[in-house]
Amino acid sequence: MSEIKEPLLGRRFKYNSDFKNPEMSSLALGSLHRVRRKIKDGTYKFEFQLCYCGSEDSVLLAEMDRYGNYYPFVICRRCGIMRANPRLTNESYIDFYTNEYRTLYGDSDRDKEELYLSRVKQSKEVFDFITDHIKLPPNAVVFDIGCNMGTMLLPFYENGCHVMGVDYGVEYIEYGKKKTGLNLEIGGVERLREFSKKADLILLNHVFEHFLDLDMELKQIREVMKPDAYLYVSVPGIFWWVENICGGDIMGLLQNAHTWQFSLETLKYVMQCNRFELVFGNEKILSIFKNSSIKRNRDEVPRGEFRKVVTYLEHLEKRYLPKYFLTKIVEPMSLKKPFIKVKNKFFRKEQIFL
């Protein structure tokens, strides 16, 4: 495999077992230490994967995510898709999502009611985006895969849709059931087959980037969709997310639960290879696809996307480094907490629904 040994983005992306994000709580740090221990003792195993386009020719971007997890992240020279490689095995991810994910990512430090109300607000924005671009039939059937508390389904339900949500997070499903009264079930796509109807619309809100086998997941999703149904896909878009959510810090984009990272062009490539046609999308990425009879050949990769993405990331890192070094200077001083407070005010932190 032709990967360089040093991260292309620079030395701060090299894995460092002593790294601790200063904004992590004691609960999150405890989870980080457990994850590192599970990697060291072999509980968590890694596997190499080819790029979606089939190529193994990639460049190492980073070895570490924003929390300090070991996270080799590469970009394919052929098509420009970014991916974790090597990544955790399916069994390791199951343990991670079950025991560490919510705590490590900070949800355990937040009041559930606060999270719920924030996600209700986000659900209205998603509903408006979707209904601005497509017209659903009366009494449409809407599924949400990875529904968390089920809040994304609320505006659809309130507008006469039949809804069902699935998620593996038991705690959040149970909380969502009590708060919304909606049909929420523990599990994945297989639970949607139990519903008496197929979907007119399926929501994948910050879920697609977590999938391991993109083709298999999209095949299963298609099986619970009507022939003329739509698929809403939202993921952190490379060309928007870092500047608008992460304050220009590429590290904010990196988290070990994300096995893939997309631009709109590379997402469209994957979807078209699975017979989904783009209806509307932007670089944020908020996108709507519909079933199509046309299948893109996997060898018809996006041209020039690798250079476009790398050039953009290198530009961002060069621009961000003065802020990074300033942070390192004030960290040992008493100014550390006030500086972080000011920094967070002017450089927005990543939104909670990832």
Q: Which two tokens stand for residue 71?
A: 């996270």
**Most confident of the ranges 3-12, 19-28, 264-273, 343-352:** 264-273
Q: Is the peptide bond before 238 cis (omega within 30 degrees of 0)?
A: no
Angle at 209 between CA 207 and CA 212, to 5 degrees: 100
In the three-class reduction of DSSP (H, G, I as helix; E, B as strand; rest coil), residue 95 is classed as: helix
Which class for 333: exposed (0-12), middle (13-18), buried (19 or more C-beta within 10 A)? Answer: exposed
Q: For domain 115-291, which CATH number applies: 3.40.50.150, 3.40.30.10, 3.40.50.300, 3.40.50.920?
A: 3.40.50.150
* Domain boundaries defined on the chain: 11-108+303-346, 115-291
Which residue, among 208, 26, 202, 18, has the nearest Cα to 108 in the 3D structure?
26
pLDDT at 345 over 90: no
What mean pLDDT do residues 188-208 have? 94
Distance CA 180, CA 205 (A): 18
Which string of DSSP letters, residue by residue, matches 287-317?
Answer: EEEEE-S----TTSPPSSHHHHHHHHHHHHH
What mean pLDDT do residues 285-297 have? 96
pLDDT recorded at residue 349: 45
Span 140-194, pLDDT tens digits:
999 999 999 999 999 999 999 999 999 988 889 999 999 999 999 999 999 999 8
